Structure formats: C-alpha cells, structure tokens
Structure 1
Amino acid sequence: MAKSKRGHSLWHLPARGRGTCPVCRSTRIKLLYPRTKSDGTSLKVCKRCDKASQTRIDAAI
C-alpha cells in the first residue's frame, strides 16, 4: 500500500524545501541538512554536501 504521508512535512517549508546549495551550487535540490561554518553561521546544504569537509563549508557563500 502506498504511504501518503511520506515527505508531508516538506510541504510546509518555503519552496517545498528546495533551493540552490551554497556549497556545490546545484539548483532545485532539497536543502535539508544543517551545517555550521567556523564562524558560527548555519547553512542548509544538500545530501551530497552534508558529508563535505569543513573547508568546503567555510568557503561557501
């Protein structure tokens, strides 16, 4: 049977949780993973960039 509630929490986010990843610059991708830069600011990144090194996260916009 299909699971109708899967991903339902994304519907309440702006643009359904999608945007441009600040690390890899991929467009129209889900930004669901919070990462913190060295200066303390928080970023939402894509699934691929969640595993990125801290130097790549610090170099992001």
Structure 2
Amino acid sequence: MAKRNRGKTISHLPENGRGTCPICERTRIKLLYPYKTETNQTIKVCKNCRPKEK
C-alpha cells in the first residue's frame, strides 16, 4: 500500500524544511537535525553534518 503521510511532518516548516546548512554551506538541503553549538545554541543542520551517535 502507498504511504499517504510521507513528507507531511516537514510540510508545515518554512520552505518545507529546506535551506542553507550553517556548517557545510550547502544550499537547498533539508535541515532537520538539531545541533548544539559551542555557545549552547541549538541550530538545525543537514544529515551529513549531524552529530553521529555511537
């Protein structure tokens, strides 16, 4: 069966969750992963820049 709700979670975000990654500077990429900076701010980064959990 088809999945009817695919992508529904990011459709309410501005520009559907896409933008420029602040770390790697890629444009028009999905910014879905929270990243804590050195100044304890939480920013959204792309999948390639997300912190890998071990």
Coarse TM-score class (shorter-chain normalised): 0.7 to 0.9
Q: Kindly report structure 1 stretches of 4+ aligned residues shifted beyond 3 Å.
A: none
CA contact (8 A) 2:10 2:16 kept: yes
Asked whether the equivalents of residues 35 and 51 of structure 2 are also in contact (C-alpha less than 8 Å), the reply is: no
Cα drift, residue 7 of structure 1 = 1.4
Secondary structure at 1:35's aligned position in 2?
Answer: strand
Q: Which residue of 1 aligns with 2:51?
A: 51
Q: Percent identity?
A: 54
Report the structure, 1 or 2, having the larger helix content: 1
Give the TM-score of the pair, scaled to structure 2.
Answer: 0.87
Contact residue 18 and residue 31 of structure 2 kept, 8 A: yes
Tell me the equivalent position of 2:5.
5
Unaligned runs of 5+ in 1: 53-61
Counterpart in the other structure of 1:57: none
RMSD of the alignment, in Å?
A: 1.2
- Asked if residue 20 in structure 1 is aligned to residue 20 in structure 2, the reply is yes
Counterpart-to-counterpart distance in 2, 1:39 and 1:26: 22
- Could you tell me how far apart the structure 2 residues matched to 1:47 and 1:20 are? 12
